[in-house]
Amino acid sequence: MGINLLSEYFQNIIYTVKTMISGMNLTWDHFINKKKYVSTLQYPNEKWPQTDRKIGFNHKEYNTIRSRLHVDIDDCIGCLQCERACPVNCIKIDTIKPPKDREYDCGKTSHDTQKKMIVPRFSIDMSECMYCNLCAYPCPEECIYMVGGPNEAKHEIDYEFSKYVKHDLVFEFSNVTDQEIIDIGGESYLEKRKEIENKISEGNELKGAIAGEGEDSSKKDEKKSSQHVDPGFVVFKVVEDKMSRGIAKKAYTYGRRNNMDMVAISKYVEEAINSYKKMTPEMEEAIKAIVDFKYPDDSKEASSADTNNETTISSDNDKIDDVKKTTLFDIKILNDISDKMIRGSIKKIYMGGKRLNKKSNEVIKDISSHLIENNLMNDEIQELLNTIEIIKEDPERKSNNKKEEIHIENTLFDIKLLNSIDDKVIRGTAKKVYMTGKREKKNSSEVIENIKKTLKESDKMNSDIDTLLKEIE
């Protein structure tokens, strides 16, 4: 028994030595022959050669190669079909079309298709691409495709395009220069692109992160200050309920637009609040404050701060003052011209005059000369132009012309007042009747009667809606 154990012990020692010598021989062989047995490549500087895929038929007939997208930008016509087809929105395209008054040759594609615009940006983010190849199918010029395979003749396969930075996987294919963009009239595009670049650079430098510092905060303050908020809304700050405050502000705005005095506005607000049963002590205090509220003397609303009963006289004086201050009539007056083509050409002349800071009489002369030269002048347009001259040159003169009265006064209430109707179906029906009346140039009372009639016929009229329509009327 002891002899067997001793024999097994020495056999294990011999086996261990043999195994160690065998392993060391293999290690020594690899140590001596490093170049022969090396298995590590210094990627990406060194790469294994890519073998041809054995797929059972000719490689060129394989119609779907999952490889990198490429764009032959000279054949791109800017149709945006590939951008719309992309399910992950990794394709971004910008186009600029030359204006009608500028002759610019955008070139032709290899299929002799005349281009109608240039493409200053065509980028594909391959880090987001899902290699579905859906973008290639709708392209009418076949300018976007996956490289290799059946497109080997166009572009060799690129199966390894790894980058150290993710942004480097955004491939930009556009070759349009800034000068070409300027030649086609795309100065605004360059300004917008520059603005975006500045925002990105400021973001990278963490500029504007602290409120009140830098240019961004000052611009935000300017924008906030430029937004018009009626100073009279300050009286409603004491009201905590948002809904009550909103109803009161709507009613207050309606009164201001219809040139009511402050006493009439306070009564109108009170009626609106009572109709919704939202009256509270805070609201009563705010309504009383409306009567005593006075606008600054230099503001446009100064005249309505006067609480006398001569509302009509004060509102007429306001309109005359506004007409005297403005140097160009309202473009909405031209909407009365029935012919769409003539109306469009006249509005173009108007906008050109506005850009050049011309006065009303100068713009009217330009419009008249254009119409006479093209034999487009008629009695309707001549009468309208005469009406504009009367309003601008002698605003105190009372005209019997109905068109003047339409432009001086607003004869139809604001459609937003119908938003107070809770029922969506009833609200939609009322708005349809409103828009029909607006197209037929009906006044508020006629439209309200039509709304009532329509709702009664459809058995949708109730006391709340009837009260609301009476308030609007």
> What pLDDT is attached to residue 393?
47
Q: Which amino acid is at 463?
A: S
> Phi and psi for 225 in degrees, rounded to 5?
-70, -30
CA 107 from chain center: how many Å? Answer: 30
In whole angstroms, what separates CA 104 from the centre of its chain?
28
Q: Counting runs of H as helices and runs of E as strands, what totals does the chain give?
A: 17, 5
Please list, in sequence order, all residues whose beta carbon lies within 8 angstroms of the beta carbon of residue 85, skipping any fewer than 6 positions away: 134, 135, 137, 138
Per-residue confidence (pLDDT) for residue 62, from 0 to 100: 54
Going from N- to C-terminal start, the domains of the chain cover: 2-37, 52-202, 232-323, 326-408, 415-472
pLDDT along the chain (473 residues), means of 10: 82 93 91 80 72 56 71 94 94 92 87 92 94 91 88 81 88 92 89 90 73 50 56 82 84 84 86 84 86 64 43 46 56 78 83 81 84 80 74 46 42 77 82 83 85 86 83 76
Q: Please tell me the distance from the alpha carbon of residue 34 to that of residue 44, in angstroms, as a whole number.
A: 21
Q: Is the peptide bond before 44 cis (omega within 30 degrees of 0)?
A: yes
Residue type, 468: L
The DSSP string of 399-442 is P--HHHHHHHS--S--GGGGGG---HHHHHHHHHHHHHHHHTT-
265 vs 250: CA distance, rounded Å: 11
Q: Round to whole Å and give the CA distance between 171 and 181.
A: 20
- Using CB atoms within 10 Å of the CB of residue 397, give its burial: 0 to 12 exposed, 13 to 18 middle, 19+ buried: exposed
pLDDT for res 174: 93
| pLDDT of res. 326 | 47
In a 3-state reduction of DSSP, which class is residue 172? strand
Contact (Cβ atoms closer than 8 angstroms) between residue 70 and residue 144 = yes
Q: Are 315 and 259 in contact (CB under 8 A)?
A: yes
Tokens coding 439: 């197209």
356/320 Cα distance (integer angstroms): 25
Is 52-202 assigned to CATH 3.40.50.2300?
no
- Is 95 in contact with 118 (CB distance < 8 Å)? yes
Kindly state the helix (H) or strand (E) to which residue 70 belongs, with its residue range. Answer: strand 69-71
State the DSSP string of 119-144: EEEEEEETTT-----TTTSS-TT--E
Give this prediction's pTM. Answer: 0.40
Q: How many CA atoms lie within 13 A of 345 on its CB side?
A: 16
CB 145 within 8 A of CB 154: yes
Alpha carbon distance 279, 263 (integer Å)? 18
Is 125 buried (19+), middle (13-18) or exposed (0-12) by CB count in 10 A? middle
Distances in whole angstroms, Cα of residue 176 to Cα of each of 10, 95, 118, 120, 315:
84, 11, 8, 5, 57
The dihedral formed by the CA atoms of 291, 292, 296 and 299, expressed in degrees to the nearest 10: 0
Q: What confidence score (pLDDT) does residue 298 get? A: 40
CA 289 to chain centre: 40
Q: Which token pair is 36? A: 């022969």
CA distance 258 to 399: 21
CA 110/CA 89 separation, integer angstroms: 27
Can you tell me whether residue 91 is helix, strand or coil?
strand
> How many CB atoms lie under 10 A from the CB of residue 355?
8
In DSSP notation, 286-314 reads HHHHHHH----TTSTTGGGG--SS-HHHH
pLDDT of the residue at 142: 92
Lookup: tokens for 17 = 């030595």
